[in-house]
Amino acid sequence: MSGPTRTPSGEETVPFTFDGTTYHARPGDTLAAALLANGVGLVGRSFKYHRPRGIMTAGIEEPNALVTVGKGGRAEPNTRATDLFVYPGMVAMSQNRWPSLSFDVASIFGLAAPALGAGFYYKTFFGPAKHWMRYEGFIRRAAGLGNAPTEPDPDNFSQRAGFCDVLVVGSGPAGLKAALEAAEAGKRVMLVEQDSAPGGSLLRDPDPAIDPAAMVDRIRALGGEVLLRTTASGYWDHNFLTLTQRLAEPGEVPPHGFAQRLWHLRAGRVILATGLIERPVPFANNDHPGVMLSQAVRSYLRRWGVLPGKRVVIATNNDDAYLTAQALVEAGADVVALLDARASGPAAPAGVTVYHDARPSSVTGRKHALRKVTAVIGGSEQSFDVDLIAVSGGFVPVSHLHMQAGGKLNWSEEAQAFVPGETPQACETIGAALAPPPAPAVAPAGKAKKSFVDFQNDVSLADIDLAWQEGYRSVEHLKRYTTLGMATDQGKTSNMVALSRLAEKQGVSVPQAGLTTFRPPFTPVTMGLLAGAGARNAGAHVRRIPLHALHEAHDPIWQPLGYWFRPRAYPVDGETLAEASLREARTVRTVAGLSDVSTLGKFEVSGPDAAALLELVCATTVGKLAVGRGRYTFMLREDGMVQDDGTVWRLAEDRYLLTSSTGGADRMAHFISYVRNSLRPDLKCSVVNVQEHYAGIALAGPKARGILAALIGAEPPRHMGYAPGVLAGVPVHVLAASYSGERAFEIHVEATHADKVWQAIEAATRAEGGAPYGLEAMELLRIEKGHVVVGGEVDGRSTPHDLGLGGMLNKVGGFIGAAGLTRPALSGPNRNNLVGLVSLDGPIPEGGMLIQRAGQSPQGHVTAAARRILEGVPIALALLQGGHRRHGEELIVTSPTRGEKARVRVTAPHFYDPAGERYRD
């Protein structure tokens, strides 16, 4: 029996399954350790070629052993078996194999290998398109990782702010010492460790003088925070870092409902004690199960008591692997040979034969382990029958965070490695990452074709050579052409090996060949974690209107409007939306209706300079308003385009109320603040956003005045008048404004008392034969009246003149946008003007294009389509080139996407009561 094993100790108490087979792990095992302990060496299939892959590392850099863990919506694909701690009941599955891991059709027939070399994708684009169509289906089946779950993730994700004086990343000997020193100096310290235990390299190479657990206790006792299973995954501006913390293992049911936490951390100083990653060695079939990094072998031996192989060859270019030989000997393994690429090395453990000037050239394997290693020793080949090869090609400092912080790297010729140098942020690297052990460059001895460099993306030395041959010289081009370093491991084990090859081809030194950019995240991050609580409801809180519960009792159709939800219609007796809205609109035209307009933007402006401010903000005159009067108004951007509209009311001598559109309310609050505080800080006035303070109820229809008079016990103000009143015992503002075209009022009331007022108005309205109406009816009413809506006709490209509002502009000027409006192009004859359309046949397609005859470029578009509420004729509002002078013209509205067409006549945009007779009592 060969391959990985572990002698049972009785602690194998944690049951889990891998590909449906139940195994047992010890507490603290990674999935990788537990699989090796159970003799499982074959763990996955490679991305492109479906080559059998095993466990190469013992850490987050693992490129091969990727699994899907968990079930249903909780499943997490592409999780590294080396970064996954087994819990009871864990369900793990291998990936990218069919029908099974050990019998994979794509690999057995060698389907992929010849076709998918470097630049494959690019090359297919040069052929006929139909070839690509054929390749695509094949690639989609053949190449791949795990499948994304199709069900929603049942877990929550926490996002939390964090603050500290000193952040230490990595709990190896250097990190522990730095964190403890900072804590002892009274600093607010945070120490993060991606592993489940502190210690870093001490877990592999224990030092009796250092007790990680005791140091962690001490740091915590001093008030420091030590987070395990937490990865510093991004280093951003101004010492801001994102940390990803596992609150439960992947696929595990989290104890508090939260699977992970994203820390938004601001640190005074950052200490990076991120250590080293070992470099693999390129030789033929170096991707087979049974090829393992030397330090990983030590980790499995010492941390988990797993023997990854019984007959072992070690291949190295440095002294560190001699420690692995020692550990293997101590564990009872047979170290058949230690191949040292150098001419000399340190003393080897007793019984281990060291070969100098020796490099592995190829291996052959069986299912879970190796069969044979062939090496070039001096000038001749020699083979060894072994089940494991432990390899070390040198070490790469983990400089990802340093580089994300904007740091520089220095080249160490001795270690053939980039070492962190200067950084522009309050950040330093300490420990092993600063001092990688000497490890000279070694020329690969095996065939390039199957000497893998990027294991996850199946890139071999031959692919790099091919890219070079085809003219790809820069490292950035090499990366894109071969996809080297672009897999989920971001090239942690491959970049330096590849870079050496490229430098060799270029005939330059490695630093001259250059490096690709280091980008966050350091290790893959679950998408749900970035969304946080916003993973539901499309990432935003729903804003509730004050009367939400009252409307809910009517079971309306709800309409999302920005972040708000508003009643769209109140169907009765099984009405459809169209039926209900038409009934509601007819009720308004013939009796009266009430509607919730609470979401309107509302600003109270007070002070001696209130009017002066409003005359800057609004493009219409405001200053001449008498107390108790209001008017329609609109606001422009500095370039002269209309940005919003509303009404302005003079409530008292020095107090005004300005309303604006729902969708533009936040934008308007910002704009007014800019004008008041930034442009005109000298003005004596106060602007307060009262959008949510007041609930608004619109009451409209021929009977509205009578209904309201009875409710407030007084004659309501005439059209565009304002009066305070008391309704249902509650103080209210009554604004006689109309959006519907009927005699109408807006009743604004402190939101906390709005329910009483709504109920009183609703009862009185129903008693007269009226009813509540929703947004859809409101839309029918305003289209018929020809009122514009922000986001519809007011599309950010319309001037007041385009919308037929030019006559209302403040003649004196002085408002924001006045200068912009003088640009000659804005008074050109062919601008899109607001017009009405009356159908000469069927319904007018919303969003349709306006043309004179088929095949012509569009001359405008329909912004809103409806029907005459009582007469039923299809009508629409549209923006049409030169529309103001084209009334009477016949046009075609066409919507190719809907396959609809209508003949229309251009009219003025006022279909209903153009003279405003209905506003008069």
Partner 1 sequence: MTEATSIIALPAAPLHALEIWSNPQCVATRVHKALRFALPPMNRSAANASITLMRFEPTVWLAEGDVSVLADTLGDDGALTAIGGGIVRFRIAGPGWRELLLEGGVFDTSAAAFPVGATAATVIDHVGVRLFAESEDACIAYVPSSYAQSLHHFWDEALPLLGA
Partner 2 sequence: MYQITCPHCGPRAQTEFTYERTTDSIVDPAAEPQTAMQALYTRANPMGLDDEIWRHTYGCRAWMVLTRHRVTHEIHAVKAIGPEALP
Q: What is the contact surface with partner 1 in residues (CB under 8 A)?
A: 156, 158-163, 247, 255-258, 261, 264, 266, 532-534, 540-546, 563-564, 604, 606-608, 654-655, 683-686, 688, 690-695, 750-753
Q: Which is nearer to partner 2, 670 or 797 (CB)?
A: 670
Residue 616 binds partner 2, judged by CB under 8 A? yes
| Total residues at interface with partner 2 (CB under 8 A) | 29
Strand partners, 724: 733
Q: In what order do the strands lie in the sheet with 388-392?
A: 291-293, 388-392, 311-316, 334-340, 354-356
**Which of positions 404-463 make contact with partner 2 (CB under 8 A)?**
406, 424
Residue 653 binds partner 2, judged by CB under 8 A? no
Residue type, 897: T
* Shortest Å, Cβ 567 to partner 1: 15
* Shortest Å, Cβ 627 to partner 1: 16
* Shortest Å, Cβ 216 to partner 1: 17
Measured CA to CA, the distance from residue 732 to residue 760 in angstroms comes to 13
Q: Are 507 and 67 in contact (CB under 8 A)?
A: no
Q: Which does 546 bind (CB under 5 to 8 A by kind): partner 1, partner 2, none?
A: partner 1
Site string for partner 2, 128-167 (x = CB under 8 A): ---------------------------------x------
Q: Which does 542 bind (CB under 5 to 8 A by kind): partner 2, partner 1, none?
A: partner 1
SS3 state at 537: helix
Binding partner 2 by CB under 8 A: which of 673, 752, 827, 830? 673
Q: Which is nearer to partner 1, 615 or 742 (CB)?
A: 615
Tokens of 347: 């003393």
If we measure between CA atoms, which residue out of 81, 7, 3, 641 comes closest to residue 290? Answer: 3
Residue type, 629: R
Q: Which does 692 bind (CB under 5 to 8 A by kind): partner 2, partner 1, none?
A: partner 1
Q: Which does 545 bind (CB under 5 to 8 A by kind): partner 1, partner 2, none?
A: partner 1
Contacts of 819 (CB under 8 A, 6+ apart): 638, 640
Of 112-120, 600-608, 731-739, 809-817, the window that binds partner 2 (rule: CB under 8 A) is 809-817
Q: Which is nearer to partner 1, 225 or 334 (CB)?
A: 225
Tokens of 21: 């087979």
If we measure between CA atoms, which residue out of 256, 250, 300, 197 comes closest to residue 90? Answer: 250
Measured CA to CA, the distance from residue 458 to residue 48 in angstroms comes to 6
Q: Which is nearer to partner 1, 591 or 698 (CB)?
A: 698
Q: Which is nearer to partner 1, 98 or 563 (CB)?
A: 563
CA 864 to chain centroid = 34
* Shortest Å, Cβ 188 to partner 1: 8
φ and ψ at residue 679, rounded to 5 degrees = -80, -40
User: DSSP of 860-884, one letter per residue?
Assistant: EEEEEEEE-TTT--EEEEEEEETGG
Q: Are 284 and 450 in contact (CB under 8 A)?
A: yes
Q: Tokens 């003079």 sit at which residue?
A: 650
Measured CA to CA, the distance from residue 681 to residue 673 in angstroms comes to 10
Binding partner 2 by CB under 8 A: which of 11, 638, 871, 890? 638
Element (H, E) at 581: helix 577-590
Q: Tokens 């980039």 sit at which residue?
A: 418
Q: Which does 236 bind (CB under 5 to 8 A by kind): partner 2, partner 1, none?
A: partner 2
Site string for partner 2, 675-714 (x = CB under 8 A): --xxx-xx--------------------------------
Binding partner 2 by CB under 8 A: which of 266, 269, 554, 766? 266
* Shortest Å, Cβ 672 to partner 2: 11
* Shortest Å, Cβ 167 to partner 1: 14
Q: Which is nearer to partner 2, 525 or 838 (CB)?
A: 525
Q: Which is nearer to partner 1, 108 or 161 (CB)?
A: 161
Measured CA to CA, the distance from residue 899 to residue 156 in angstroms comes to 44
* Shortest Å, Cβ 616 to partner 2: 6
Q: Which is nearer to partner 2, 342 or 667 (CB)?
A: 667
* Shortest Å, Cβ 774 to partner 1: 18
Q: Identify the DSSP state of 156.
A: E
Binding partner 2 by CB under 8 A: which of 519, 670, 885, 887? 670
* Shortest Å, Cβ 826 to partner 2: 11
Q: Are 687 and 658 in contact (CB under 8 A)?
A: no
Q: Which is nearer to partner 2, 161 or 854 (CB)?
A: 161
Residue type, 532: G
Tokens of 601: 């933007």
Q: Which is nearer to partner 2, 123 or 823 (CB)?
A: 823
Q: Which is nearer to partner 2, 497 or 816 (CB)?
A: 816
Q: Are 49 and 374 in contact (CB under 8 A)?
A: no
* Shortest Å, Cβ 649 to partner 1: 15
Residue 512 binds partner 2, judged by CB under 8 A? no
Instruction: Provide the terminal-to-terminal Cα distance of the chain, rounded to the nearest Å.
Output: 101
Q: Which is nearer to partner 1, 533 or 819 (CB)?
A: 533
If we measure between CA atoms, which residue out of 206, 290, 288 comes closest to residue 36? Answer: 290
Q: Identify the DSSP state of 772.
A: E
Q: Which does 822 bind (CB under 5 to 8 A by kind): partner 1, partner 2, none?
A: partner 2
* Shortest Å, Cβ 677 to partner 2: 4
Of 91-99, 196-204, 232-240, 731-739, the window that binds partner 2 (rule: CB under 8 A) is 232-240
* Shortest Å, Cβ 422 to partner 2: 13
Residue 103 binds partner 2, judged by CB under 8 A? no
Measured CA to CA, the distance from residue 376 to residue 382 in angstroms comes to 6
How many CA atoms, within 13 angstroms, populate the side-chain half-sphere of residue 301? 24
Q: Which is nearer to partner 2, 515 or 826 (CB)?
A: 826
* Shortest Å, Cβ 814 to partner 2: 7
Q: Which is nearer to partner 1, 532 or 882 (CB)?
A: 532
User: Beta-carbon neighbour count of residue 667 at 10 Å?
Assistant: 16
Q: Which does 152 bind (CB under 5 to 8 A by kind): partner 2, partner 1, none?
A: none
Q: Which is nearer to partner 2, 635 or 711 (CB)?
A: 635
Measured CA to CA, the distance from residue 798 to residue 817 in angstroms comes to 12
Q: What does DSSP say about strands 427-429 and 258-272: parallel, antiparallel, or unpaired? A: parallel
Q: Which is nearer to partner 2, 627 or 679 (CB)?
A: 679
Measured CA to CA, the distance from residue 833 to residue 860 in angstroms comes to 9
Residue 264 binds partner 2, judged by CB under 8 A? yes
Q: Are 802 and 833 in contact (CB under 8 A)?
A: yes
Q: Which is nearer to partner 2, 237 or 573 (CB)?
A: 237
User: DSSP of 773-785, one letter per residue?
Assistant: --HHHHHHHHHHH
Measured CA to CA, the distance from residue 631 to residue 280 in angstroms comes to 76
Residue 119 binds partner 2, judged by CB under 8 A? no
Residue 236 binds partner 2, judged by CB under 8 A? yes
Residue 811 binds partner 2, judged by CB under 8 A? no
Distances (CA, A) of 211 to 27, 77, 177: 20, 35, 11
Tokens of 872: 């039923």
Q: Which does 573 bind (CB under 5 to 8 A by kind): partner 2, partner 1, none?
A: none
281 burial (CB, 10 Å; 0-12 / 13-18 / 19+) is buried
Q: Identify the DSSP state of 703.
A: T
Give the chain's length. 921
Residue type, 642: V
Applying CB under 8 A, the residues found at the interface with partner 2 are 161, 236-240, 264, 266, 406, 424, 616, 638-639, 670, 673-674, 677-679, 681-682, 814-816, 818-820, 822-823
